[in-house]
Structure 1
Amino acid sequence: MTDQSTEPGAGTSDSERARAVSAVDVREHVTRLDADLGFLATTLPPAPSRPDAPFTGEPLLVKDLDLKLAHAPLWRGNRVLREHGAVSGRDDPLGRRLRELGFDIVGRTKSAEFGLAVTTEPLAYGPVRNPWDRDHGAGGSSGGSACAVAARAVRIAHGTDLGGSLRIPAAHCGVFALKPGLMGPATTPTFEDWNQHGFVASRVDDLRRMLPVLGRGQASDAGRPGTDGPGRRLRVGVLAAAVSSAIDVGGGSVEVVQRMADRLSDQGHHVLPAHPQVLEQFDQFAMRTTPMLAGWLAKEVADASEDLGRPLTEADMEPGTARMLAMAAMATPEAVRDTVEWLRRLVTDLTAWWDRFDILLSPTVPVQAPRLGWFGDPDTAMHRTFGMMQYTAMFNASGQPALTVPCVGAGGLPYGVQLVGTHGSEANLLDLAEQLGPAEAPTLPGR
């Protein structure tokens, strides 16, 4: 891990010096926790103060994957990029906005290599350990961010979600995570649209404060059909069974979903077992979209190669990444066209369910966080990865917002339940999360 923090320099004002000392204290706190859990890829130096910005000095960690910050490291979980010390040449729009809003971007959190795994155990810099049990993983690919928030290193951390990469680690680590939706139904399914920036947080209010940062506004859509305005009796469908043959749903996950369903029913909502039947096509969805995922990966590798200054080769990648990249050859124009047409029909059928319901309640993941190394065999890793994504990935394709709410269950590890709404209902999902229980994530034992 590279620590690029700096001590307060001479010639600064008292207020600037106080802020710099505070920034150093934050970095010491973060790195102290990281020494035990391994969630950091690198720290970053304090940015110049923006006294009039709304988030001035607020600590934030960002994922080491898709978010570009000019002159800052961007290693994408890859060993060669890390050894080379690759940096971004420019800010992307969200990176620029975070800086303009005044966030103190403390560092980058570890990501699975190129974000492909639902665990964060990159060979580039070792695994992220679950703060609830260090022999277990933190989920992925935004596992570093979820772990850091669960450990209270920071209150908010950035991540990305291509098929569950925010929601899965949030569930495994016991924190909140919001995958924002597209502004309307997806018309041309592409992985560029599926991959959404979002945040994990220890409190619902913190996610609410981040809605404007994501361009989603703050106002509730109360009263609009299909949303959960205050006092409105919602139509909630409950899914508590597996929709993939890869991994069956565990009894603990079923129990916490039923507990949340009972809580909503007690509050007067209309709750019944129901879900979009098209979710049961998940195994076919995973199989048909894999070549498109490989094509998306090829573009990401090409972008990273520009930072490296030479093409990344298969020898530069983990075996699972190289295996996925090789599948890009299957993404012929004809195959992609057929898959896109199939996805359009699937998304139409999926989103039509929300004409009759307001919310889908399900597990976020079928089981609690597996032990480190469970995804280590390339021959079984893809099968297990898809099984872990069975409740999350289709909602990237449909562009619907989805929220993970942490729950405490048996066995010493947290669970997560997922709330899925219609397009534009991010604020309403947060309202509903507050009805489900404490608006703050559970505290780690001994903290």
Structure 2
Amino acid sequence: MLSVSPARHGRVLGVSDHSVEVREHVTRLDAALKFMATALPPASPRPAAPFAGEPLLVKDLDLKLADAPLWRGNHVLREHGTVSGHDDPLGRRLRELGFDIVGRTKSAEFGLAVTTEPLAYGPVHNPWEHGRGAGGSSGGSACAVAARAVRIAHGTDLGGSLRIPAAHCGVFALKPGLARPATTPTLAAWNQHGFLASRAGDLRRMLPVLGLDRVPDADRAGTEGATRRLRVGVLTSAVSSAIDLGAGTVEAVERMAAKLSDLGHQVLPAHPRVLEQFDQFTVKTTPMLAGWLAEEVADASKDLGRPLTETDMEPGTAHMLAMAALATPEAVRDTAQWLHRLVMDLTAWWERFDVLLSPTVPVQAPRLGWFDDPDTAMHRTFGMMQYTAMFNASGQPAVNVPCAGAGALPYGVQLVGAHGSEAKLLDLAEELSPGEAPTPPVSGDRGLG
């Protein structure tokens, strides 16, 4: 996949041997799992930077890096070799902090799917079982971290796109929250940059990168990151009619609930009842999602130099884009008012509880192609998002914690906190699952130190 000889390139630019070895390591694993969209050449080292030389993969979707490819999972953008004209704020910060950005990982086209099987460059395979999906839309990043290609990878999350693939691949993921509930009639505030990692502690290291390093003293005990005794509500039932829970999913949540109780936390069967309005939530917000997609397509068209047409996209993307016509000013206003009431009801639950423990996804990773049938694809997509999407609307932080299953595939449980509780959630995740996430059958054969 690399278009240059790493060793020769390293001698010319003074790139470290470690950077060369990492790229070779990533390329070897990608040959088996197909998680890469494209590799990126090493940048000039910044030895004094806080994350100097630390390998990082970034998702091929929203993150802009000047002069680097940005294809958004679309075959036309890939064929034309479109690149970003500038760094966006996070892209610039990652460069300044010294990360060695190794390449871009595959994304579902425009981030719309909960699996990563774009026609532009083929499916990502789950490292736990070839032929299973890696989740989406950050499936390339989740797969790469699970396989130990890199320790940390970037992703984005509009309705679960970090947490869903993290659950399917068996890694930690953080969807950061907003400073306050997001009740505006635009999905731009719902779409959050975040990271996936093989250790919860590595996600904590990324909090300053996201500007989330200020932690209220009341949320920390002050000794080695330990959390105080928390009041935890547990949800073990489906909140959507689209997909019911597998028995193993329920067992995984109950096992983690028991562990939290053993750790001294107060654990009760409880959840915000408003989550049970999820089916109505999807109907109300789908036109808004289509409107957001129209803005993303328009931005991509600028990179391309011409408008993207319906024939330039996958059928599912074109179908969703056509629904943007339903997002009239009146419909958007009515939806915004409905969402405001829903979010107020949802977040009020955290006045009595500290954390919600739930499944991240209702079932383990399905086989590739499970979302192909146009008659069931949207139904199954929303069903997979039933525990994740409302917390994009509310702007609350959420963490996926990997959980080993009885079979080959992992499970994921989700921790959701009040606004500003990212560090608390990561502390709790580390209590639940200290150290490295489980290692899948297809993985790197050396450490990533």
Measured in 1, the distance between the counterparts of 2:239 and 2:69 equals 39
Alignment check: 8 A CA contact 1:139 1:172 kept: yes
Deviation at 1:70, TM superposition (A): 0.4
**Compared CA separation, residues 107 and 343, structure 1 to 2 (3 A):** same
Kindly indicate whether residue 436 of structure 2 is the aligned counterpart of residue 440 of structure 1.
yes
1:193 match: secondary structure: coil
Measured in 2, the distance between the counterparts of 1:6 and 1:324 equals 42
Measured in 1, the distance between the counterparts of 2:300 and 2:234 equals 41
Out of 370, 376, 392, which is 1:374 matched to?
370
Equivalent residue number for residue 212 of structure 1 = 208
Kindly indicate whether residue 46 of structure 2 is the aligned counterpart of residue 77 of structure 1.
no
Out of 213, 221, 240, which is 2:216 matched to?
221
> What amino acid does structure 2 have at the position aligned with 1:264?
L
2:188 match: secondary structure: helix
Equivalent residue number for residue 234 of structure 2 = 238
Deviation at 1:208, TM superposition (A): 0.6
Kindly indicate whether residue 95 of structure 2 is the aligned counterpart of residue 87 of structure 1.
no
Deviation at 1:375, TM superposition (A): 0.4
Equivalent residue number for residue 316 of structure 1 = 312
Alignment check: 8 A CA contact 1:221 1:427 kept: no
Deviation at 1:185, TM superposition (A): 2.1
Alignment check: 8 A CA contact 2:110 2:293 kept: yes
Residue deviations 1:92-125 (CA, integer Å, cap 9, x gap)? 0000000000000000000000000000000000
Out of 233, 244, 249, which is 1:253 matched to?
249
**Compared CA separation, residues 169 and 231, structure 1 to 2 (3 A):** closer
> What amino acid does structure 2 have at the position aligned with 1:333?
P
Equivalent residue number for residue 266 of structure 1 = 262
Equivalent residue number for residue 341 of structure 2 = 345
Measured in 2, the distance between the counterparts of 1:319 and 1:5 equals 38
Out of 165, 172, 191, which is 1:195 matched to?
191
Equivalent residue number for residue 446 of structure 2 = none
Map of 1:261-340 to 2, 5 A cutoff? 261-340=257-336
Scaled by the length of structure 2, the TM-score of the pair is: 0.95
> 314-323 or 232-241, which moves further after superposition?
232-241
1:134 match: secondary structure: coil
> What amino acid does structure 2 have at the position aligned with 1:278?
V
Equivalent residue number for residue 157 of structure 2 = 161
- Unaligned runs of 5+ residues in structure 2 are 444-449
Kindly indicate whether residue 174 of structure 2 is the aligned counterpart of residue 184 of structure 1.
no
Structure 1 segments of 4+ aligned residues over 3 angstroms from their partners: 1-12, 228-231
Measured in 2, the distance between the counterparts of 1:183 and 1:50 equals 32
Kindly indicate whether residue 118 of structure 2 is the aligned counterpart of residue 119 of structure 1.
no
Measured in 1, the distance between the counterparts of 2:251 and 2:112 equals 29
Residue deviations 1:146-179 (CA, integer Å, cap 9, x gap)? 0000000000000000000000000000000000
Equivalent residue number for residue 355 of structure 1 = 351
Residue deviations 1:49-82 (CA, integer Å, cap 9, x gap)? 1111011111000000000000000000000000
Out of 35, 49, 53, which is 2:45 matched to?
49
Measured in 1, the distance between the counterparts of 2:369 and 2:219 equals 46
Measured in 1, the distance between the counterparts of 2:243 and 2:11 equals 60
Kindly indicate whether residue 403 of structure 2 is the aligned counterpart of residue 411 of structure 1.
no
Deviation at 1:374, TM superposition (A): 0.1
- Give the percent of matched residue pairs that are identical in Structure 1 and Structure 2: 79
> What amino acid does structure 1 have at the position aligned with 2:380?
R
1:76 match: secondary structure: coil
Deviation at 1:316, TM superposition (A): 0.4
> What amino acid does structure 2 have at the position aligned with 1:223?
A
Backbone CA RMSD of aligned residues: 1.8
How many residue pairs align between the two structures? Answer: 441
**Compared CA separation, residues 402 and 5, structure 1 to 2 (3 A):** farther
Kindly indicate whether residue 112 of structure 2 is the aligned counterpart of residue 135 of structure 1.
no
Deviation at 1:231, TM superposition (A): 5.6
Deviation at 1:205, TM superposition (A): 1.2
Equivalent residue number for residue 98 of structure 1 = 94
Deviation at 1:5, TM superposition (A): 6.4
Alignment check: 8 A CA contact 2:167 2:412 kept: yes
Kindly indicate whether residue 140 of structure 2 is the aligned counterpart of residue 110 of structure 1.
no
**Compared CA separation, residues 10 and 151, structure 1 to 2 (3 A):** closer
Deviation at 1:3, TM superposition (A): 3.5
Kindly indicate whether residue 68 of structure 2 is the aligned counterpart of residue 67 of structure 1.
no
Kindly indicate whether residue 386 of structure 2 is the aligned counterpart of residue 390 of structure 1.
yes
Deviation at 1:224, TM superposition (A): 4.8
> What amino acid does structure 2 have at the position aligned with 1:251?
A
Deviation at 1:437, TM superposition (A): 2.6
Equivalent residue number for residue 24 of structure 2 = 28
Deviation at 1:393, TM superposition (A): 0.2
Residue deviations 1:251-305 (CA, integer Å, cap 9, x gap)? 1110010001011111221111100000000000001100000000000000000
> 1-10 or 420-429, which moves further after superposition?
1-10
Measured in 2, the distance between the counterparts of 1:231 and 1:169 equals 27
Measured in 1, the distance between the counterparts of 2:289 and 2:5 equals 37
Deviation at 1:411, TM superposition (A): 1.8
Alignment check: 8 A CA contact 2:242 2:382 kept: yes
Measured in 2, the distance between the counterparts of 1:48 and 1:445 equals 35
> What amino acid does structure 2 have at the position aligned with 1:319?
P
Deviation at 1:445, TM superposition (A): 3.5
Measured in 2, the distance between the counterparts of 1:446 and 1:166 equals 21
**Compared CA separation, residues 171 and 9, structure 1 to 2 (3 A):** closer
Alignment check: 8 A CA contact 2:201 2:430 kept: no
> What amino acid does structure 2 have at the position aligned with 1:221?
P
